[in-house]
Amino acid sequence: MPKRIVYSTQIEYIQCLDEQGKLDEKLVPQGDPSRLSDEQAVFLYGKMIEYRHLDEVAFKLQRSGRMYTYPQNKGQEAAALGAGAALRVGVDYLVPCYRENAALFLHGLDPKYILLHWAGDERGNAIPQRDKHGEQGVNCTPIAIPIGTQMLHATGMAWAYKLRKEDKVVATFFGDGATSEGDFHEAMNFATVFNVPCVFICQNNHWAISVPRDQQMNSETVAQKGIAYGAHCVQVDGNDLFGMYKVVLEARERARNGGGVTLIEAITYRLADHTTADDARRYRSEAEVESWRGKDPVIRLRKYLEGQGLWNDAKQKETLDKAEAWTKKIVDEVLNYPAPHRNEMFDHLFADIPEEQRRQRDTWATHSLGQFPAQIQLGK
């Protein structure tokens, strides 16, 4: 006899802080652990200003020929920062794409590594890891350029933590375009089958470079793509810092307690080009961009803080001044970073260098000038 499986579901959309800076007290009442405190909100707003300023300066470095390319994070700070704030520093692991600078910096990554990476210096990927005593280091992987590969890495890491019975959660970040890759589906399937402590965070900025969302997928939402795999799926206003903190914190606790994988679709928008090699004016209208400028997460959070009497023009100027000094220090270090030695490309490939590699290294020492050409050094 034929059987019919009846299945129905729904995707919940969360917005705590609206575009006018008004907070929904019912969703995040006072005393709720998923609500940012006033102190946290003020602190994170300060970080938003810092990271936005660095982002703008990085863009100028590329335009002045001192970096090869750069993908601005402008407009997507709340999605990354809210998630980063909800994850435990030094415990949980971040597996990013390339528009999560705010989360990486919040967890202790020195911004110089990001600038070095985009300047073509391989040492920008040499993120310091914790030593055997648990000192120093940052719990994150290098930024991922190939679309979607990092989701597989995150799943494997989370599985390892589960097998070791370690109280760690892995959060991986990616764009809407990455969910059209096979890697996303493989990672999601494996993660849910083995119930690993992993949180999948999609920054849906509506454009996979120049391809709009509705031309690369037929699903009404990105979030619903996780339903068939048995993941907990939720959609959130990605420009809402309070909303991002809430859903990621809940997903983190769900993962820690064996409650399953969560797929979070954060609705956001990149206010700049995809990268400095792109001209978004060729495929999206100024009217569309302008409509999203009014939803800017930095402006939205400032409205809230001012409404609560927690922020004013004097604090804004003071924070901007600090941001400029902080950014200048980072840029000065990067522009004056010592050139790499030729041996670095050999010495860090293997724990014990093979004889063939050793021979190549020694041969180069006798048949070259011993250093990389000066013109490839950053800022030269």
- Residues with catalytic function: 270, 274, 283
Which single residue is written with the structure tokens 């999203």? Answer: 292
Q: How far is CA 107 from the centre of its chain?
A: 11
Where b means 16+ CB within 10 Å and e means fewer, 198-231 reads bbbbbbbbbbbeeeebeeebeeebbbbbbbebeb
Q: Kindly report the number of other CB atoms within 10 A of residue 259's CB atom.
A: 14
Q: Provide CB contacts within 8 A for 325, sequence distance 6+.
A: none
Alpha-carbon gap, residue 184 to 161, rounded angstroms: 20
Alpha-carbon gap, residue 205 to 214, rounded angstroms: 12
Residue count (the chain): 380
Of 314, 198, 299, 334, which Cα lies nearest the Cα of 258?
198
